[in-house]
Amino acid sequence: MTTALDALGTRGFLLGRWPWRAAVYLLSSLATASAAAGALCLLCLPWLVLVAESFSDRTGPAAVLLALGALTFGLGGPLVALPLAGLERRRLRLVDPRPVTSGHRRPSAPGLDSWVRTRYTEAATWRELGYVVLLGTVVLAACGSVVVFAVLAGALLTSPLLIGGGAVSVGFLTVSTLGESVWGALAGLGMVAALAYLGTLVAGLHGMLARTLLQGDQLVEVARSRARLVDAFEAERRRIERDLHDGAQQRLVSLTLRLGLARLDLPPDSPAAQQLADAHDQAKLLMAELREFIHGIRPQVLTERGLPAALGELADRSAVPVTVHSALRGRLPGSVEGTAYFVASEALANAAKHSAATAVEIDVRLERGSLLLEVRDDGHGGADPLRGTGLTGLADRVAVLDGRMVLSSPAGGPTIVRVELPCPSE
């Protein structure tokens, strides 16, 4: 998924959408950074008073001002940072469309005291407060510099229109003749092109800073390895072939033959013969289903009716109550449907076995040429791909289709498994 920084090196960058998205992001950043700076000034007012007094002859209660500043900043800072961080996570999509979730835990109990205790003791809150400090200082200065550069470029670009009123001062330059204004306009045109790159670079770096500080601790893109992928699937294929050929298939063939021979020894009109005939038919039906499993290794409802119906059947069979939200219309490529189905199946199995979840939601939809599948449970969280819960194998399976799997599972929950699979057509 392309970000603003990734787009800088692409062809046709100047004629694409990213300079405009970066411009909107920077202008909105200027507004939010100004609001953050104002809030920080109010929070740090005792410290500002102390600094002002240090430049005068007056001597005030320095210890009291220091303590009061620490109190207002420590207590009021998170109350400013929490809503502002939520807004920044939503704005981040302008320059980085990858999903980002907060690292906040659910309070252990209902009530304001539990919420306060949880928020003021988790690292995510203080990272967000650090981001607000950078937003109101460094980001504000960077956005202001880009705006000044844009004003200079605009002044040079329009200097031929302004020269009729006399000399025009543009920064350190003074344009007094029509010839100078033409050269100034050409320079302004070059500055506009440079502004597109500069603005996108600053916006992309700001987005990188926001993603680093505002996303949850447990949000990781599950690592993928092509070598591990090949080895895992080859080992799985050999295991399935060996187990089916040497185990279930041989026993089922033997059972079917024995039932067929036993039918010959009974009178055709006896009750036992009818029951044996039914058992023989069931064995042959099981053979056909096993053969279908070997050839397709995918559920029949998925083949016949598609992903939404298969997810519904999966939800009906789940030990945990599951709600499926599907916005799909029509069929998708078989490989995409199969991968999405098995990701959902494994996620439900993990929720039932490991997370003590009481409810699971599955959301599946098409968005910008990709199939998005999200499985969320209300369990205790703490899922780790390194502990062998099958998540790494799922990431490998998603990687085959050039897809992407993201896991969010902070301690205390919820656990979210999100998969993006390229799907160019509906």
- Report the first-to-last Cα separation within the chain, whole angstroms: 19
The pLDDT value recorded for residue 296 is 45
Task: Spell out the CATH class of 302-422.
Answer: alpha beta
pLDDT tens readout for residues 182-196:
777 787 788 888 999
Over 90: is that where the pLDDT of 128 sits?
Answer: yes
Question: 55-95, pLDDT tens digit by residue?
Answer: 665 555 777 778 888 889 889 999 999 999 999 999 999 99
Least confident stretch, 20-24, 162-166, 340-344? 162-166
Give me the mean pLDDT over the 359-386 stretch. Answer: 86
pLDDT over 70, % of the chain: 82
Residue-level pLDDT at 170? 62
What is the structure's pLDDT at 209?
A: 93
Most confident segment among 119-128, 165-174, 267-276: 119-128
| 201-238 per-residue burial string, b: 16 or more CB within 10 A, e: under 16 | bbbbebbbbbbebbbbebbeebebeeeebeeeeeeeee
Domain spans, the chain: 4-217, 230-297, 302-422
Give the side-chain half-sphere CA count within 13 A for 31: 8
Average model confidence (pLDDT) across the chain: 81
Q: How would residue 135 be classed by pLDDT, with cut points 50, 70 and 90?
A: very high
What are the two backbone dihedrals, phi and then psi, of residue 357, each rounded to the nearest 5 degrees? Answer: -75, 150
Q: Which helix (H) or strand (E) holds 364?
A: strand 360-367
Which pLDDT does position 12 carry in this prediction? 85
Beta-sheet pairing, 360-367 with 322-326:
parallel
The pLDDT value given to residue 169: 67
DSSP conformational letter for 401: T
Query: Which of 50-54, 117-121, 187-191 is modeled with the greatest confidence?
Result: 117-121
| 262-312 pLDDT tens trace | 877 777 777 777 787 778 778 777 777 766 565 445 566 777 888 888 888
Q: What mean pLDDT do residues 385-399 have? A: 73
Average pLDDT over every residue of 34-45: 92
Question: What local confidence, expressed as pLDDT, does residue 242 receive?
Answer: 66
Q: Render pLDDT for 215-273 as a digit per residue (tens, 0 to 9).
A: 875 444 554 555 465 456 656 666 776 676 667 767 777 888 887 778 777 777 777 77
Q: Distances from the Cα of 28 to the Cαs of 92, 94, 98, 351, in angstroms?
A: 11, 10, 19, 40
Q: Is the pLDDT of residue 5 over 80?
A: yes
| Residue 405 DSSP SS3 | strand
Please say if the pLDDT value at position 158 is more than 80.
no
The mean pLDDT value for 114-127 works out to: 89
pLDDT, residue 131, reads: 94
Lowest mean pLDDT among 119-128, 232-241, 325-334, 377-386: 232-241
Main-chain dihedrals φ then ψ at residue 406, nearest 5 degrees: -125, 135
Question: Pick the residue with more confidence: 48 or 230?
Answer: 48
Range name among 208-217, 219-228, 339-348 with the lowest pLDDT average: 219-228
| Pick from 149, 152, 175, 179: nearest CA to 162 | 175
pLDDT at 60: 58
Strands ordered across the beta sheet of 360-367: 220-221, 404-408, 415-422, 370-377, 360-367, 322-326
User: What's the pLDDT score for residue 291?
Assistant: 65
pLDDT over 70 (residue 389)? no
